[in-house]
Structure 1
Amino acid sequence: MCSEPFTNEWNSGTYDDKLNLVAELGGGALFLLQPRPGERILDVGCGSGDLTAKIAAAGAIPTGLDLSEEMVKRARQKYPFLNVQVEDACHYRTDTPFDAVYSHAVLHWIKDADAVVRSIWLALREGGRFVAEFAGNGNVAVLTTAMEQTLEAHGYAWAGRNPWYFPTIGEYASLLEQAGFRVTLAQHFDRPTPLRTDTGVRGWLDKFADYFFLDVTPADKVSIYRAIEAKVKPSIDQGGQWMADTSRLRIVAIKEHT
């Protein structure tokens, strides 16, 4: 079963209040999408609908998908004019193909990449375009390495904790080509992301605690957080501003002849 843990588990209010940076950073991929009036565009992992609304503002006709009922509810409250649906991206099917498929900051949450790429290919008309941005190989490597080392030092196995799919540019481009896409743009770039100054690394760890620390005792968690913070400080503390070592893939691909 395909799942999107990020959109499925996180509270929509938290997404809007604390992760609005996700929507703010979506402009690069949205520029590459170049939505045009009258185009039918599928937004995979629409979250609370901010970027879907920008697609609609360009005159296109978007359909937003998200696995989280809470997120879809929030999107409908914010943008009642939008068509947003609760759907699993790995199994989504449509009888009427789209001119384009767009996805921002979601695909690294879906480990069954083959299934979601197949859904996207099937959703597009011949010659339709797929534009996406998501986390790539090496994303938050400093942080995850510190978590792995510290958890195992405290007797907690690392296996099965990491919920993410971070492909290399070659891996993902090959996956698209095998599915029948022609990749016209593939970029892998670093984009360090500032963490909140009041909570820093500990706040970032709390956001993902349900994945990495669910079975950790409260006493161990305090010790583990402290140790992780000490490990990563030389690399990501820039004069009092913590910067997560994030990296991204940006992709544009065209559906070839069926």
Structure 2
Amino acid sequence: MTARDTNEWDSSDYDDGHSFVFEYGEDVIDLLEPSPDERILDLGCGTGHLTAEIASSGAAVVGLDRSPAMIEQARTEYPDQRFVQADARDFDLEEPVDAVFSNAALHWIDEQDAVLESVTDALRPNGRFVAELGGTGNVQAIVDAVRSELTRRGYESTHPWYFPTVGEYASRLESHGFEVRHARLFDRPTTLDDGENGLEGWIEMFGDELLSPVPESERAAVIDAVEDDLREALFADGTWTADYRRLRVVAVLE
């Protein structure tokens, strides 16, 4: 386990308060273009909504996630769909797949080369890898505000995610035998759920590692200070908007 794998997931809160994660992922399925005769792996499937969406094409889909809570909820929500609990850096499939799909999962993992090695092992020749993850500069304003407040309080701060540039990730894919067919980095300002409490909820869901140096008794005060710092830039009409930047790739295993 690495630092970026230590976030504690509340699967119910994830679905109820952060549905934008999988709702935006529906666009990535358009890049995947699943067909009924294919076998597809959804890597980092979370609570399984996109797994089920891909399966509605008629493809045979397996959802994989390392979080027991996510897999349990996915199996409850979609009892006829197959889900497995495993680590993206080290997993085995019974037979190769035609495509590996991943949405909003890979930026949580330090060892990208281990992930891509597992992906290449899972794919048949000429199989494709279609993914979206946070790109360079993703949620930079939020990260900077949190780290600035931690520094002010005398805490060492870390950056808990992997947000690559297009060039960095394309080169990494090529080093694992992929031909990159599509790579795009773009701004995607994202409206957070729950109005006034949206930024607090986002930090509490996704920022465990970011806030890890801070005692529980101080976290509310840190979040209040971060909200004050970001209110002018990211809050309007009763809603917080996170400064998301996303990287989408389509690559074929040569």
Instruction: Using structure 1 for the length normalisation, give the TM-score.
Output: 0.91
User: What is the CA distance between 1:200 and its match in structure 2?
Assistant: 3.4
Please show how residues 7-46 of structure 1 align to structure 2 within 5 Å. 9-46=8-45
Cross-structure match for 2:226: 228
Cross-structure match for 2:171: 174
Please show how residues 91-240 of structure 1 align to structure 2 within 5 Å. 91-158=90-157, 161-195=158-192, 196-217=194-215, 220-240=218-238
Contact 1:90 1:119 in 2 (8 A): yes
Please show how residues 236-247 of structure 1 align to structure 2 within 5 Å. 236-247=234-245
User: For 1:205-257, what per-residue CA distance to the aligned partner results, in whole angstroms no more than 9, with x for missing partners?
Assistant: 2224532334424564344223222222232123443211001001000000x
Gaps of 5+ in 1: none
CA separation of 1:180 and 1:233: change in aligned 2, threshold 3 A: same
Equivalents in 1 of 2:82, 2:218: separation in Å?
A: 45
Cross-structure match for 1:66: 65
User: What is the CA distance between 1:118 and its match in structure 2?
Assistant: 0.9
Instruction: Using structure 2 for the length normalisation, give the TM-score.
Output: 0.93
Gaps of 5+ in 2: none
Percentage identity across aligned positions? 45
Contact 2:4 2:161 in 1 (8 A): no
Aligned partner of 1:234: which letter? E
Equivalents in 2 of 1:246, 1:145: separation in Å?
A: 13
> 4+ runs of 1 displaced by more than 6 Å?
none
User: What is the CA distance between 1:116 and its match in structure 2?
Assistant: 0.4
Equivalents in 2 of 1:222, 1:70: separation in Å?
A: 25
Matched position secondary structure for 1:62: strand
Matched position secondary structure for 2:63: strand
Contact 2:196 2:240 in 1 (8 A): no
User: For 1:32-62, what per-residue CA distance to the aligned partner results, in whole angstroms no more than 9, with x for missing partners?
Assistant: 1011002000110111111111111100000
User: What is the CA distance between 1:98 and its match in structure 2?
Assistant: 0.5
- Compute the RMSD of aligned alpha carbons: 1.9
Cross-structure match for 2:48: 49
